[in-house]
Amino acid sequence: MLHAFVNSIDPYFLQILVNIGIGIILALGLNIITGLTGQLSLGHAAFMSVGAFTGALLTLKTGTPFYLNLLLSGLFSAAVAALIGWPILRLTGDYLAICTLGFAEIVKVVFLNLEITNKALGLTVPTPTSALPMPVIVLMVAILAIVASVLIQNSRFGRALKAIRDDEIAAESVGINIARYKVQSFAVSAFMAGVGGCLYAHFLGYINPSDFGFLKSIDMLSMVVLGGLGSIPGAVFGASILSAAPEFLRFMSQYRMLVYGALLVFLMVFRPNGLLGGVNLTDLVLRKLGIRRHGATRNQEWSQ
Amino acid sequence: MTALLKLDNATIRFDGLVAVNGVDLEIEKGEILALIGPNGAGKSTIFNLITGIYPPTEGGISFNGKSIAGLPPYVIAGGGIGRTFQNIRLFKELTVLENVLIGAHTRGRWDLTGALLKLLPQVRREEGRLLKLAIHCLTQVGLAHKAYEQACNLPYGEQRRLEIARALAIEPVLILLDEPAAGMNPQEKRTLLEMVRNIRAAGVTVFLVEHDMKFVMGLSDRIAVLDYGVKIAEGRPEEVRANPAVIEAYLGKGTMR
């Protein structure tokens, strides 16, 4: 029944929807290391690539169930991130960004030359014969990613990450092991990128190492920055707009990337913190509904 | 009585500059010790040595009888030494409450799994416990009514107090206060004085660096004086005040009065 329903939707529209869903997963993943922990990664497409190829190869070579592949792609990506993160997360700012950039290039070149990834020809991936249609799976994973992000942000773990972002010296002075939390954050971030990559591979049916180059990393970063670094609704919003924009701007044919670029420039000039940066959505909604009048009401709960 | 914190010939050199030179210092459990000295004497550097931001070039530092020299800052903090900074270092983007909750980091243990399994009773109990501790610390510095304000929106004096609350949230044995009264008005200083006395009364040993002499003399049990990285005097406030070497360090040599 679900299959019939999904099949009745316009495939072009469905494709945009799936792109948005995958975009949300990728953006939320990047948001954890760059938005929440404040460590700029310019090579996040590499983890997407690792996840995509892991998932594709598992499907092609072992025939393990798709859901397991999805999980394993994420875990393998996370393991790679932990391995590479241990040495490079000691660096800060520009140095870290350049390192992640270099790492992504290495992953791309290695995959372009490995026999198992079929070199520059890429891999054709069969659509999984799972119980649920792909668009539904993507949607579910995207929702899971949102829930996980919210849970992480409001936990002891998330607070430690935010502390590192705001002031590393102060964070250490209250007993936070910076190196450990950075690596964990990087691994969680890569896990989500890996899962996103695996979904991408199985939905599209074809992957090529060159798909996951520098431009893909920048795409992901643009989504997070557009919505507002560190903001979960922002990442969802940014991913939705930027995943759909190239399609909606298609009528402009050659000019669409020009407009897309100009949109980004204008946004950064007029809203440097991103569309939803510094906006507390729950607070805003509650206030609009008249449930919470202003910040002070919450403050009063604690004063004696 | 054995000392809670002991500096033994602590020395640190930055290339040619000897910022702290062979300082011996002992802090007894439950006392308020002040470290004073002219600007650039190396007071904050001593704090940075104790908290592990710099390892000492020479000499030893022991806390509760165990050597802590060369340990990373987060281990030392976890061992029960809280601190504030001369140039306030709050998590500016976060709320007052979050700042203190982060201070309570070492009082909890649930990490990523705890974040994802938030509904587990153990995790909820821990969050509740940390929240209670944070509110208690905020109440101690009189900031509980500002829990949900953003830290960077607080006035200067309250930011200093918030830093103290954050340091208290690690439930320290020893708290290091780096110029807590700097930039405060007389009224705020009186409140702060009371606050520090209460912190000591709660069983926390206090070691502070401060420039305000009236504040230091009224608060401290003992005072140590640092000049050019060398300890030149140590004793009760009235002894230190009368010490010729101290007067010379602050006012220069010459005929007095």
Number of folded domains that form chain A: 1
**B114 has pLDDT over 60:** yes
Report CA-CA distances (Å) from B237 to B35, B41, B208, B240: 11, 19, 14, 5
Q: Is A303 on the interface with B (CB under 8 A)?
A: yes
So what's the pLDDT on residue B227? 93
Termini Cα distance of chain B: 41
In a domain, A62, yes or no: yes
What average pLDDT is seen over chain B? Answer: 93
Residues of B in contact with A154 (CB under 8 A): 118
| pLDDT surpassing 60 at residue B104 | yes
Rg (CA), chain B: 19
Best interface-test mutation with A: which of B89, B105, B178 has the largest number of A CBs within 10 A?
B105
pLDDT greater than 50 at residue A304? no
Question: What is the rounded average pLDDT of the residues A13-24?
Answer: 95
More confident residue, B1 or A39: A39
Is residue A36, in this structure, part of any structural domain at all?
yes
Reply yes or no on whether the pLDDT at A225 is more than 80: yes
Question: Quick one: average pLDDT of A92-107?
Answer: 92
User: Residue A92: what pLDDT?
Assistant: 81
Q: Answer yes or no: is A238 within a domain.
A: no
Inform me whether the C-beta atom of residue A297 falls under 8 Å from chain B C-beta atoms. no
Which of A81-90, A128-137, B106-115, B151-160 has the least mean pLDDT?
Answer: A128-137
Using only the alpha carbons of chain A, give its radius of gyration.
20
Does B102 contact A300 at a Cβ distance shorter than 8 Å?
no
pLDDT tens for each residue of A168-201: 999 999 999 999 999 999 999 999 999 999 999 9
**Residue A190 touches chain B, beta carbons under 8 Å:** no
- What is the DSSP track for A218-282? HHHHHHHHHH-TT-HHHHHHHHHHHHHHHHHTGGGGGGHHHHHHHHHHHHHHH-TT-TTTT--HH
Lowest model confidence (mean pLDDT) among A1-15, A120-134, A252-266, B185-199: A252-266
Residues in chain A: 304
The pLDDT score that the predictor gives to residue B254 is 65
Does B70 score more than 50 pLDDT?
Answer: yes
Nearest CA in chain A to B50: A173
Confirm whether A63 is domain-assigned: yes
Q: Cβ contact (<8 Å) for B115 and A152?
A: yes
Kindly list the residues from chain B whose CB atom is less than 8 angstroms away from the CB atom of residue A32: none
- Output the furthest CA–CA distance in chain A (Å, rounded): 69
Residues B23-67 pLDDT 10s = 999 999 999 999 999 988 999 999 999 999 999 999 999 999 999
The residue among B245, B201, B244 whose CA lies nearest residue B219 is B201
**pLDDT-wise least confident of A8-12, A32-36, B215-219:** A8-12
Using a CB-CB distance cutoff of 8 angstroms, which residues of chain B are in contact with residue A172? 53, 72-74, 77
* Residue at A9 is within a domain: yes
**Is residue B176 within 8 Å of B50, Cβ to Cβ?**
yes
Residue whose C-alpha is closest to residue A37's, from A178, A156, A173: A178
**A173 near B CB under 8 A:** yes
> What's residue B132's pLDDT?
97
pLDDT score at A17:
94
How high is the pLDDT of residue A292?
A: 57
pLDDT computed for residue A149 by the predictor: 97
> Rounded to an integer, what distance in angstroms lies between the CA atom of residue B97 and that of residue B135?
8
Asked whether residue A21 is assigned to any structural domain, the reply reads yes
Q: What is the pLDDT of residue B48?
A: 96
Interface test with B, best of A150, A283, A293, A302 (most B CBs within 10 A): A302
Q: Convert the pLDDT of each residue in A47-61 to its tens digit.
A: 999 999 999 999 999
B48: which 2 tokens?
A: 């940075």
Query: In percent, how much of chain A has pLDDT > 90?
Result: 67
Give residue A101's pLDDT. Answer: 94
Q: pLDDT confidence of A300, banded at 50, 70, 90?
A: very low
With 70 as the cut, is the pLDDT of residue B130 above it? yes
Furthest-apart CA atoms within chain B: distance in Å = 73
| Other Cβ atoms within 10 Å of A199 Cβ, number | 27
Residue A264 counted as domain residue: no
Contacts of B169 in chain A (CB under 8 A): 174
B147: nearest CA in chain A?
A299
Residue A159 Cα, gap to closest chain B Cα (Å): 6
Sorted by sequence, the CB contacts under 8 Å of residue A75 that are 6+ apart come out as: A191, A194
Burial of A210 (0-12, 13-18, 19+ CB in 10 A): middle
Give the per-residue pLDDT at A6.
Answer: 84
Q: Give the per-residue pLDDT at A297.
A: 44
* Residue A195 located in a structural domain: yes
For position B149, what pLDDT does the model report? 94
pTM for the whole structure: 0.91
Contact flag B102-A171 (C-beta cutoff 8 Å): yes
Distance (Å) from the C-alpha of residue A75 to the closest C-alpha of chain B? 15
Contact residues on chain B for A158, CB-CB shorter than 8 A: 115
Residue contact B78–A160, C-beta within 8 A: no
Question: Strands across the sheet with B81-83, in order?
Answer: B81-83, B174-178, B205-209, B32-36, B222-227, B230-235
The mean predicted confidence, pLDDT, of chain A is 89
Is residue A295's pLDDT more than 50? no
Q: Which region among A199-208, A227-236, A251-260 has the lowest average model confidence (pLDDT)? A: A251-260
pLDDT reported for residue A291: 62
Distances (CA, A) of B53 to A170, B7, B15, B27: 11, 15, 17, 20
Could you tell me the residue range of the domain that residue A182 belongs to? 2-219
pLDDT exceeds cutoff 80 at A253: no
| Residue A301: predicted pLDDT | 46
Tokens 């040599």: give the residue. Answer: B253
